[in-house]
Amino acid sequence: MNMLSRLRERWEKSFFARPWQNNRVRRVFWILLSFIVLTSILSANLWPQGYDLEVGQVSPRDIPAPKTIINREKTRQLQEEAEKAVPDVYDLDPNITKAVEQELELIFQTIKDVRVLEEEMPLDQRVEKLQSKTPMTYTSQALYTALSADEKSLEGIFNDTKTIIKEAMQVGIRNTALDKAQIQIRSAIYALNYNNNLKDLAAQTAVGVLRPNMVLNEELTEKLKKEAVRAVEPERILKGEFIVRQGERITESHIALLKELGLQGSQINFTVILGLAFLVIIFLGIIIIYLRKYKPIIYRNEKYLTLVSLIFILTLLLSKVGIVFSGYLVPVAAGSMLITILLDSRLAILMTVIMSFLAGIMGGNDFWIAAVALVGGIVGVYSVSKLAKRSDLTRAGFITGFVNVCSIAAVGLITHTFPLQVLKDGGIGIINGVISAILTIGLLPYFETTFGITTSVKLLELSNPNETLLRRLLVEAPGTYHHSIIVGNLAEAAAEVVGGDTLLARVGAYYHDIGKLKRPYFFIENQFGNENPHDRISPTLSTLIITSHTKDGVELAKEYKLPDSIIDIIRQHHGNSLLTYFYHRAATENERQENINEDDFRHSGPKPQTKEAAVVMLADSVEAAVRSLGKPNPGRIEGMVRKIIKEKLHDGQLDECNLTLKDLDLIAQQFVKVLTGIFHSRIEYPENIAKEVKEIEGRKVQNGSVNQ
């Protein structure tokens, strides 16, 4: 111990200890520590796994995928295949068809013109003339045929050729099908009933003028190809699926997948880690802003901030472990219930949303994991918002598990999961709820003790009559015990109507007078004889004995490790009120009244700081005053109650608690209702009626003996 004390002293005097004494510095430290730990937890899977494989190497082990990813290489191949499968879209261009027909007409007209206009020229010269005027090349025989054939046959074969070309082009001719179309047209021409020379001329003309009239629609073709690519379902590598098996030869695709998963070589995905760090900063910022704006008491209390961080980190660590077995085994509900019981239910809902989101990220960016965790966590908050006994935590675990099953079943219907898998996941959901309750029950006492927080569970335990101090009070100061029980009923009823903590008010009232255990017979409720010890001592000494019971109560409460909230009620339940009886007695007995100081006859305080301490003070005074009434009835009880409250108000005892005049009126009504039920009037039997009743009972007994 001496060594520890010396080390503590050296630390407190050191240069580094000075900044640590600043609350703001410590708060920033805890926030930074939370940021580092949370980012490390989320990015744990992104650190290299140590696989250093090469193409052609044989895999030394089975390598499963640690998370679900898209197989980009395979998906790209499927998209290319889908794109190639889309045929080009062509549009029929009527202008090309019309141009071909016009060109055919022009050639026929040119042949006719040369035949008519150049009749005086020798045939060889006309052949040369015709060749020079036509836009296409003919064989010499075809040119001779064009100039020497009879006009009717020439016109007939040209008309038939025109019809054949028109029919072919109405169907449509693509670039790739031009040769095929030419062959088909030549076959159709040679099937005509003309001589071969005319058929040759017509075939050469048709082949020369024929052109594709189907134009590629690039815009529509590109659109259809893109739609086909988008329609391809991405090929996924599921979590746990083997990327490569032991003994399998490593290929380029294997290397690509290993790199995608961050499993190849010593690469660290710093981009993802940076993104996770930003996400943690955003969530921590949301929590801090919420606490500063809506929960300043928690924000300014370093102890509470540490507790929030600890539960946050612990929940994510446990979720990290649970995800190894199943994505639905994340005990977010445990963190939600702990924050609800220890701190605040609204803060618990905010933390549940954030923890569920991060659990989904740890589960491979799985939205459904986050959704199930969110629903279970919120139900956990509602389940423990009002605890009546510790077994309610067990009930909350089963409720959370049941809701998890419902959520998982809904997810199964949405994602078309196999029924057997849904049953398996549902069982895990129930286990999740039970584990959450077990964790809450197991961790709650440690958090209560370490951080000095009084929970409803702790108060329920303290309200047990078998608690050591209450049993001592019952045995050693039974009058005080009975008085405390009534004060507890009054305080609980009053706290309910003014929005206070009813359980804290009741338990605080049970323990408010434990200081009387030191000298129980100096207090009137424990004096069962006619002798009052205060009659034999001075008023000043009596005042010292009476006022010391608050100080003795605080010391006793600390010895038995009662919560701070109970100790505050013990310390404040008399405020600095005046002991009127002993003050007036001292004034009466002392001839020189100017020597009497009123402050010497007051309690040491402080005045009540909370609603709970104030209602215990009022209930304590009211119960003692009403008990002193000779014949209490509703009217006299109400008059006494309002008188006591008015005196406390005028004496300034309620100046430092946040009770309004309306609250005081409601408190008075509750006090009257409870006290009227306790001190109700009894029927007084006249003496002669009592004698008659006894005589009747006696005769009944005698008659019964005779009949027997």
173-214 pLDDT, tens digit each = 888 888 888 888 888 888 888 888 888 888 888 888 888 888
Residue 3 has pLDDT above 60, yes or no: no
Distance CA 357, CA 280 (A): 11
Strands (E), 203-289: 214-216, 236-237, 242-244
Residue 686 has pLDDT above 80, yes or no: no
> How many Å separate Cα 294 from the centre of its chain?
18
153-177 pLDDT, tens digit each = 888 888 888 888 888 888 888 888 8
* Spatial CA neighbour of 66 closest among 285, 365, 354, 288: 365
Distance CA 254, CA 267 (A): 16
User: Residue 237: helix, strand or coil by DSSP?
Assistant: strand
Residues linked to residue 51 through DSSP beta bridges, in sequence order: 264
102-129 pLDDT, tens digit each = 888 888 888 877 777 666 677 777 777 7
Element (H, E) at 288: helix 270-294
* Spatial CA neighbour of 506 closest among 443, 556, 549, 569: 569
* pLDDT at position 91: 82
> What is the mean predicted confidence (pLDDT) over 265-284?
80
Count other C-beta atoms under 10 Å from residue 75's C-beta: 16
501: Cβ–Cβ under 8 A, 6 or more apart, which residues? 495, 611, 612
* pLDDT at position 541: 83
- End-to-end CA, the chain: 84
Higher pLDDT, 269 or 195: 195
Burial class (CB in 10 A: 0-12, 13-18, 19+), 37: middle
Residue 591 has pLDDT above 60, yes or no: no
Residues linked to residue 236 through DSSP beta bridges, in sequence order: 70
- Regarding beta strands 69-70 and 90-92, do their DSSP bridges make them parallel or antiparallel, or are they unpaired? unpaired
Higher pLDDT, 684 or 554: 554
Residue 261 has pLDDT above 80, yes or no: no
* pLDDT at position 1: 45
Higher pLDDT, 357 or 530: 357
* pLDDT at position 18: 56
636: Cβ–Cβ under 8 A, 6 or more apart, which residues? 629
Evaluate whether 337 touches 346 at the Cβ level (below 8 Å): no
> What is the mean predicted confidence (pLDDT) over 296-315?
89
> What is the mean predicted confidence (pLDDT) over 663-679?
90
Residue 48 has pLDDT above 60, yes or no: no
Check: pTM over 0.75? Answer yes or no.
no
Higher pLDDT, 206 or 613: 613
> What is the mean predicted confidence (pLDDT) over 612-628?
90
Residues linked to residue 264 through DSSP beta bridges, in sequence order: 51
Residue 472 has pLDDT above 80, yes or no: yes
> What is the mean predicted confidence (pLDDT) over 226-245?
82
Distance CA 671, CA 676 (A): 8
Q: Which DSSP state fits 215?
A: E
Residue 335 has pLDDT above 90, yes or no: yes
Q: Which tokens is 685 given?
A: 């039997």
CATH 1.10.1760 fits 269-453, yes or no: yes
Burial class (CB in 10 A: 0-12, 13-18, 19+), 547: buried
User: Residue 221: helix, strand or coil by DSSP?
Assistant: helix
459-678 CATH? 1.10.3210
* pLDDT at position 12: 53
Higher pLDDT, 138 or 12: 138
> How many Å separate Cα 345 from the centre of its chain?
13
Evaluate whether 282 touches 91 at the Cβ level (below 8 Å): no
* pLDDT at position 671: 92
* pLDDT at position 356: 93
Average of per-residue pLDDT values in the chain? 82
Residues linked to residue 237 through DSSP beta bridges, in sequence order: 69
Q: Which DSSP state fits 50?
A: -
User: Residue 58: helix, strand or coil by DSSP?
Assistant: strand
* pLDDT at position 664: 92
> What is the mean predicted confidence (pLDDT) over 574-583?
82
* pLDDT at position 485: 92
Higher pLDDT, 499 or 235: 499
Q: Which DSSP state fits 86?
A: S
Q: Secondary structure of 464-515 in the HEC alphabet? A: CCCCHHHHHHHHHCHHHHHHHHHHHHHHHHHHHHCCCCHHHHHHHHHHCCHH
659: Cβ–Cβ under 8 A, 6 or more apart, which residues? 498, 611, 614, 667
287-296 pLDDT, tens digit each = 999 999 998 8
pLDDT tier for residue 379 given thresholds of 50, 70 and 90: very high
* pLDDT at position 699: 56
Distance CA 606, CA 617 (A): 12
> What is the mean predicted confidence (pLDDT) over 221-244?
83
517-533 pLDDT, tens digit each = 888 877 877 776 667 77
Q: Which tokens is 277 given?
A: 């760090």
> What is the mean predicted confidence (pLDDT) over 464-474?
90
688: Cβ–Cβ under 8 A, 6 or more apart, which residues? none
* pLDDT at position 264: 66
329, amino acid identity: L
Question: Could you state, in order of their start, the residue ranges of all structural domains in the chain?
Answer: 90-216, 269-453, 459-678
% pLDDT > 70, the chain: 88
Burial class (CB in 10 A: 0-12, 13-18, 19+), 55: exposed
Distance CA 345, CA 392 (A): 16
69-83 pLDDT, tens digit each = 778 888 888 888 888
Residue 490 has pLDDT above 90, yes or no: yes
Distance CA 188, CA 200 (A): 12
Distance CA 180, CA 350 (A): 73
483: Cβ–Cβ under 8 A, 6 or more apart, which residues? 513, 525, 623, 624, 627
What is the residue whose two structure tokens read 């005074």? Answer: 621
* pLDDT at position 704: 43
User: Residue 530: helix, strand or coil by DSSP?
Assistant: coil
User: Residue 243: helix, strand or coil by DSSP?
Assistant: strand
* Spatial CA neighbour of 568 closest among 523, 605, 619: 605
* pLDDT at position 255: 77
* pLDDT at position 696: 62
Distance CA 129, CA 182 (A): 27
Distance CA 556, CA 296 (A): 32
Residue 50 has pLDDT above 70, yes or no: no
* pLDDT at position 51: 67
Distance CA 115, CA 382 (A): 106
